[in-house]
């Protein structure tokens, strides 16, 4: 199964979106479609073992895309067979931020299937739409009756599970804005980032979803598999604390009007990193241009997710950017390194003293061999750090050296993106974004 993402490029100097007054979570929504992804059945990279677990992830109009994507990605890393099902009349749903999600199937096609886990992403009005879906309610109640796993994050524990009476007398958590509603449903509220109570697992928001997904892997496959999955994610050990970045040779990052940021993608790009970077920068009202370094707009990302860029790199190269930032992924980084156009853009960015950045495999495989780390301190994915000529700062999760920012892996991406927001708009703005996402304690 893979995910297709599309994003329509707006005029380069337009204000991209405004905060929706209707969103109880105070997350921005876009006036025009910005980015979409669909989940379609595909052959797994390796044969499925007999212990493969089947997972249902429903999606709806108003679903929170970060929560959906991270959950799907991490569960697939654990070996789960994930089915993404639309509860709407159409397979394609309008998620928050005008993200278009296209499912594998309609929920009605899953009515006779047996799942080891049903897990709901959050988002408003996504959770409300879940609540009002009689078929989904029937499926989840049957899941509970059969003693099988069920889970939800953000608004969904309160709005969906709570309204269905599935948490009565059980300890559970959800997004802080919905804790009163969760309590009124009969649940015993706790403020844990992830809480397990028998066969139900609940969590709080976008910033807790990776922990949530790893917990689901452990429930399905055991601690050994969860540890195997979580290690390469480079997750934080101090979840919820204020993030920190290591900054050397401080300089002010400047821009005119709205910051213009280029995010290249290529075959093998790490999709969680790309999605989180793009999402958080748009929350900060940055104009993000996604450009394919391949011959076509569509690329196949590292976890078999299909991404479709706004433009080809040749077209993107006609514009100038306040920041160029590379997600990681082994194949994607290798493609970036081979792109003469992209390397030249990065070199011009450096020469003009404008900011540029990279994370995961990209600092080691793109920046280092092309001299873009010369005289700079950087970090990278742990297994790639031996390729850096200066390893003195590799243990830091985010390193800023003047106009360069680097980071380590999927589990450091929120810090990386928030670090960019901090450099562009200040730390108060970054924390303002981090808290409602539950990346830091509210």
| Catalytic residue positions, numbered | 360
115: closest CA among 88, 80, 91, 65? 80
User: How many other C-beta atoms are found inside a 10 Å radius of the C-beta of residue 330?
Assistant: 18
User: How many other C-beta atoms are found inside a 10 Å radius of the C-beta of residue 296?
Assistant: 10
393 three-state secondary structure:
coil
**Cα Rg of the chain (Å, integer):** 21
Element (H, E) at 216: helix 209-221
In 257-394, where does DSSP find H-type helix?
271-283, 313-316, 330-338, 340-351, 362
The answer to whether the bond into 120 is cis (omega within 30° of 0) is: no
Q: In what order do the strands lie in the sheet with 306-308?
A: 92-94, 99-102, 35-40, 2-6, 306-308, 298-300
123: closest CA among 3, 22, 236, 2? 22
CA 404/CA 358 separation, integer angstroms: 8
CA 21/CA 29 separation, integer angstroms: 9
Phi, psi torsion values for 322, nearest 5 degrees = -75, -20
CA 75 to chain centroid, in Å, comes to: 13
What's the DSSP call for residue 363?
I
């Amino acid at each position: 199964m893979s995910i297709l993402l599309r994003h329509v490029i707006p005029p380069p100097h337009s204000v991209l979106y405004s905060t929706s007054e209707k969103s109880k979570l105070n997350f921005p929504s876009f006036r025009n479609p910005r980015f979409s992804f669909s989940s379609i059945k595909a052959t797994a990279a390796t044969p499925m073992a007999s212990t493969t677990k089947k997972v249902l992830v429903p999606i709806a109009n108003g679903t929170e895309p970060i929560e959906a994507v991270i959950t799907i990605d991490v569960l697939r890393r654990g070996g789960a067979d994930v089915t993404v099902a639309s509860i709407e009349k159409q397979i394609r749903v309008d998620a928050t931020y005008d993200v278009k999600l296209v499912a594998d199937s309609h929920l009605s096609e899953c009515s006779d299937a047996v799942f080891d886990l049903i897990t709901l992403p959050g988002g408003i009005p996504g959770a409300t739409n879940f609540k009002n879906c009689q078929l989904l309610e029937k499926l989840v109640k049957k899941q509970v009756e059969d003693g099988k796993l069920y889970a939800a994050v953000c608004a969904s524990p309160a709005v969906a599970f709570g309204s269905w009476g599935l948490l009565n007398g059980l300890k559970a958590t959800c997004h802080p804005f919905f804790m009163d509603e969760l309590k009124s449903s009969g649940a015993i509220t706790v403020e844990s980032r992830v809480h397990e109570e028998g066969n139900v697992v609940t969590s709080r928001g976008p910033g807790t979803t990776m922990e949530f997904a790893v917990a689901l892997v452990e429930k399905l496959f055991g601690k050994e598999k969860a540890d195997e999955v979580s290690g390469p994610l480079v997750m934080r050990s101090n979840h919820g604390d204020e993030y920190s970045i290591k900054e050397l040779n401080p300089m002010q990052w400047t821009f005119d009007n709205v910051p213009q940021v280029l995010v290249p993608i290529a075959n093998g790009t790490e999709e969680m990193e790309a999605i989180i970077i793009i999402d958080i920068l748009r929350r900060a009202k940055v104009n993000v241009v996604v450009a394919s370094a391949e011959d076509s707009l569509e690329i196949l990302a590292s976890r078999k997710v299909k991404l479709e860029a706004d433009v080809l790199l040749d077209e993107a190269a006609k514009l100038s950017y306040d920041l160029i930032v590379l997600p990681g992924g082994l194949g994607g980084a290798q493609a970036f390194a081979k792109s003469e156009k992209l390397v030249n853009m990065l070199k011009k960015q450096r020469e003009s003293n404008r900011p540029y950045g990279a994370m995961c495999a990209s600092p080691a495989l793109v920046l280092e061999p092309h001299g873009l780390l010369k005289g700079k301190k950087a970090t990278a994915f742990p297994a790639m750090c031996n390729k850096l000529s200066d390893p003195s700062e590799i243990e830091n999760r985010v390193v800023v050296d003047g106009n360069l920012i680097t980071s380590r892996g999927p589990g450091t991406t929120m810090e990386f993106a928030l670090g960019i927001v901090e450099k562009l708009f200040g730390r108060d703005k970054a924390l303002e974004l981090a808290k409602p996402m539950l990346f830091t304690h509210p």
